[in-house]
Structure 1
Amino acid sequence: MPRLSWSILLILTLLLAAAGCSRQEEAKTEHPKATEKLRARVVVPDNVKGKWRAVKIAVRDKESNTEDIYTVNIGYEFVVAGSQLRLKVENFLPAFIMDGTKMTSASNETRNPAVQIIVTEGGAEIFEGWLFSLYPGTHAFEHQRYNFSLVDFIPAGKKG
């Protein structure tokens, strides 16, 4: 009888374990976002919205040792001359701060200017991140031929 009890106990344990695995698999398929990395969100405060028209981005060509400066309106993009690189200016935050997963601006004063960019090459996205005016090396875009940096920012209503 004791031998039979151990066998029954072993079988019940295996059945419960199998049922538990099955429920875990169901949970994984039902909730795929639970395992995804939390994505930061950008919040442009009302006191910043519409106050900035454009940014100036320097593009340095490491091969020719030249630099061109592009003035790009916020929300627009440009193609780097002689390349397949396309750079889109997403957002400008004059006083960039990060609070958990939220990126925003502490004020409308240019205390820590940053521009959010998306870079594509040949139609494929190769970079999404930030260029910082005061800290150009922070999370800098790495490309074999080009470097980008934020060199100026233009308020709304101002030309040039």
Structure 2
Amino acid sequence: MKRLMKLTVLSLIAIGFAAGCNEKEKTEQTAAAPKVAEAPSTVVVPDQVKGKWKAVQIQVADKNAHLKKVYTLKIGSDFHLPGSDLTLNVETFFPHFVMEGTTLTSQSNDLVNPAAQLVIREKGKEIYKGWLFSLYPTTHAFQHPQYGFTLVDYLPAS
């Protein structure tokens, strides 16, 4: 009886070890598997939006100093963030952001889902290129150790 119990315990240990090896192999296979490239998105500024917006306002939160300040960034122009090595550039503003397949565009010139495409460079090197959404500030939010960025307002061209 003792021998049977011992054999059962050893069998369970062996099964557990084998299962653990399989999990390790699966993890290694997953890590080694080629990544599927996402289809690049195309940004299309419709005529009804072109030239209608001159700037956006972005709130910058300095996490270290516990301060928040709003800056006005002209669309298409570089803005050096004071006291930092960061340069911000709003490449595109869409008042009614929509995604149609791989195309990013604005469905209208009405402020339905405002979004700004922001490029952030640190010491000249691009560290972020993505979208800020005023209605959904935490969606795809850029994670920087010191600064947080939020789209808060938009200024029409005239």
User: Which TM class, normalised by the smaller chain length?
Assistant: 0.7 to 0.9
Question: Equivalents in 1 of 2:57, 2:37: separation in Å?
Answer: 34
Identity among equivalent positions (%) equals: 53
Question: Where in structure 2 are the equivalents of 1:4-15 lying within 5 Å?
Answer: none
Question: Which residue does 1:121 correspond to in 2?
Answer: 122
Offset at 1:38? 2.0
Question: Where in structure 2 are the equivalents of 1:44-123 lying within 5 Å?
Answer: 44-123=45-124
1:104 maps to a residue whose letter is T
Structural RMSD (CA) = 1.1
Which blocks of at least 5 consecutive residues in structure 1 are unaligned? 1-34
Question: Which residue does 1:32 correspond to in 2?
Answer: none
SS at 2:83 equivalent: coil
Question: Equivalents in 2 of 1:137, 1:48: separation in Å?
Answer: 25
Offset at 1:66? 0.6
TM value normalised by structure 1: 0.74
Offset at 1:68? 1.4
Offset at 1:36? 5.4
Offset at 1:41? 0.9
Question: Equivalents in 2 of 1:69, 1:148: separation in Å?
Answer: 10
Q: Deviations over 1:82-113 (max 9, x none)?
A: 11011111000000000111000010000000
1:55 maps to a residue whose letter is V
Q: Deviations over 1:53-91 (max 9, x none)?
A: 110011110000111111111101211111101111100
Question: Equivalents in 2 of 1:71, 1:153: separation in Å?
Answer: 9
Q: Deviations over 1:135-155 (max 9, x none)?
A: 000000110000000000000
Question: Equivalents in 2 of 1:136, 1:90: separation in Å?
Answer: 18
1:152 maps to a residue whose letter is D
2:153 maps to a residue whose letter is D
Corresponding residue pairs, total: 123
TM value normalised by structure 2: 0.75
SS at 2:129 equivalent: strand
Which blocks of at least 5 consecutive residues in structure 2 are unaligned? 1-35
2:121 maps to a residue whose letter is T
Matched, 1:141 2:142: yes
Give 4+ residue runs of structure 1 displaced > 4 Å after superposition.
none
SS at 2:39 equivalent: coil
Offset at 1:122? 1.2
Question: Equivalents in 1 of 2:37, 2:142: separation in Å?
Answer: 24
